[in-house]
Structure 1
Amino acid sequence: MYHLGFEIHRLSKLMHRELQHSAAHQHADRMTGMHGYLIRYLYENRERDVFQRDLEKKFSISRSAVTATLQLMEKNGLVTRESVPQDARLKRIILTQKALDLHQQIEADIAEFEKRLCAGLTPEEQAQFLAIVRKMYNNLEHTKKEEGSSQ
């Protein structure tokens, strides 16, 4: 008998190990997962001004946490902060060329990884897998909500 949770855990561990060896991961000196999320968000919103408060709201993290993260990203050459003409107190956050290059490498690594991961799976099998994973996720979320309301 198969235990789905165990098999999912094994797959997750293998995926994590594989991603640790990616080219982008090797060049992401002292970059945390949150840095990756922020780089992606800033990249996707590069046509508009993004401020610290936008990141606090989008990622539901405290002002001090965003400040510390941005300071480290600035130190590592991933972002710069510039004043805006309408309010010198506001600093828009801009990705550096280093961050843009890193983002492109990460996207390429993800595309290659997905290609390897899904090799031999039909589009129908991929859609079925996603539907099953979403059901499992919803099962656990539903159980968590029920447990929270009974306390």
Structure 2
Amino acid sequence: MIKNEHISRYIGILANRLRREIDALASCGEYSGAEGKILHFILAHTDSEIFQKDLEEEFGMRPSSASALIKKMEQNGLITREPVPYDGRFKRIVPSEKALQNKENVLHGVQALESRLLDGISKEQQEQWLAITKKMIQNL
């Protein structure tokens, strides 16, 4: 630990600021910040099948949290769940027409936030930060 500096404190501050920024992106009232992050992932991967397990892994969510969020998004008309023909136990998550109409805004908003976040940070620093963060996640 660096003297008088607590890395976990700064990670918490960063997480809170990011959450506020993401919530502001979603302030149109169509969806929450959490739904916006999920929606961004789904819209960015429309060329592949997305399942609840994919969201759990991508966002480090518990199955119960992912299930509740998916249900809420379905109720809000942002996604539908469709059974896959090869296995009746699985339902893929598909963006609704409403979500597809907002695709450019959602994708652009997250990309703009990412650009602001990384402004002035070199590619090497970004790669180093990512490696360190992944190691911290493994440690926990």
TM bracket (short chain): 0.5 to 0.7
Work out the percentage of aligned pairs sharing the same amino acid. 31
Match of 2:107 in 1: 107
Match of 1:6 in 2: 9
- Equivalent position SS for 1:26: coil
Matches within 5 A, 1:63-78: 72-78=72-78
State which structure, 1 or 2, has the greater radius of gyration over its C-alpha atoms: 1
Match of 1:33 in 2: 34
Q: Which runs of 5+ in 2 are unaligned?
A: 57-61, 86-90
Relative distance call for 1:5 and 1:84 in structure 2 (3 A) is closer
Q: Which runs of 5+ in 1 are unaligned?
A: 86-90, 142-151
Q: Does 1:126 align with 2:126?
A: yes
Distance 2:118 2:9 in 1: 20
- Contact kept, 8 Å, 1:40 with 1:103, in 2: the verdict is no
Distance 1:133 1:92 in 2: 30
Relative distance call for 1:126 and 1:28 in structure 2 (3 A) is same
Distance 1:35 1:17 in 2: 12
Q: Which amino acid letter does the alignment assign opposite residue 20 of structure 1?
A: D
- Contact kept, 8 Å, 2:40 with 2:110, in 1: the verdict is no
Query: Residue deviations 1:76-126, cap 9 Å, x none?
Result: 3324578999xxxxx876433311133332221111111111111111111
Q: Which amino acid letter does the alignment assign opposite residue 16 of structure 1?
A: R
**RMSD of aligned alpha carbons:** 3.8
Relative distance call for 1:132 and 1:21 in structure 2 (3 A) is same
- Contact kept, 8 Å, 1:35 with 1:73, in 2: the verdict is no
Alignment TM-score, normalising by the size of structure 1: 0.59
Query: Residue deviations 1:121-145, cap 9 Å, x none?
Result: 111111111111112222x33xxxx
Alignment TM-score, normalising by the size of structure 2: 0.63
Query: Residue deviations 1:38-57, cap 9 Å, x none?
Result: 67337624566x7xxx54x5
Relative distance call for 1:83 and 1:26 in structure 2 (3 A) is same
Count of residues in Structure 1 that have an aligned counterpart in Structure 2? 129
